Amino acid sequence: NYTPYYGFSLSNEGRRTAIFIIRRHRLWEFFLSQKLGFSWEEVHHLAEDLEHVSSKKLIDRLDEYLGFPSYDPHGDPIPDSKGKMAARNNLPLVELPKNKQAEVCQVTNQSAEMLELLKHKNIGIGTRVEVKKHFPFDQSLELKIKTKTVTISEQLAKNIFVTYE
């Protein structure tokens, strides 16, 4: 739908189509990562190709074969066959209180450059982190990951989401 001076909005049919494309894409990412061993830097581009050649029947079977995963390798929710997505309480790592243990559950920027940096810092989905220090000068964070200390930029921390109790 287009309204002059207000821009575009998706119709109900457009929303359903968009959610189905997201579902296909994220299921292919999960399959490529978990079953074929592709890295999380590689799966996005491969899934882009596969999402456009997949029927609803194939995607429903793929979902069943994969055990109905709720999240893709980057931590994004995978819509179910009805378009519903799992919800969870998470927050950006930059907002995690000091000395609280948390688990990385989502990465919002999936550029190859950022994923490469995360890999270099040994940060991925499921990594346990704890903020030890906040540097006011540049807003960077010092993290404890297992027994090592890692410093990351505020920009990176804003793109990493965590859950904690």
At 24-46, the pLDDT tens digits run 999 999 999 999 999 888 898 89
Give CA angle at 22 (21, 25), nearest 5°: 85
Question: How many residues does the structure list for the chain?
Answer: 165
Question: What whole-number percentage of the chain has pLDDT above 70?
Answer: 100
Considering the domain delimited by 91-164, tell me its CATH architecture: Roll (2.30)
**pLDDT greater than 80 at residue 1:** no
pLDDT at 11 (0 to 100): 86
CATH no. for 2-66: 1.10.10.10
What per-residue string of b and e applies to 50-86 under the rule 16 or more CB within 10 Å gives b?
Answer: bbeebeeeebeebbeeeeebebbbbbbbbbeeeeeee
Max distance between CA atoms of the chain, in angstroms, equals 57
Give the list of residues 6+ apart from residue 5 with CB closer than 8 angstroms, or none: none
Is 90 exceeded by the pLDDT of residue 98? yes
Mean pLDDT score across all residues of the chain = 93
Q: Residues of CATH 1.10.10.10 domain(s) within the chain?
A: 2-66
pLDDT value, residue 70: 96
* The pLDDT of residue 54: 78
- The whole-model pTM stands at 0.83
Q: Does residue 85 have a pLDDT over 80? A: yes
Outline which parts of the chain fall under CATH 2.30.30.90: 91-164
Measure the N-to-C terminal CA separation of the chain; round to a whole number of Å: 43
Confidence of residue 8 (pLDDT cuts 50, 70, 90): confident
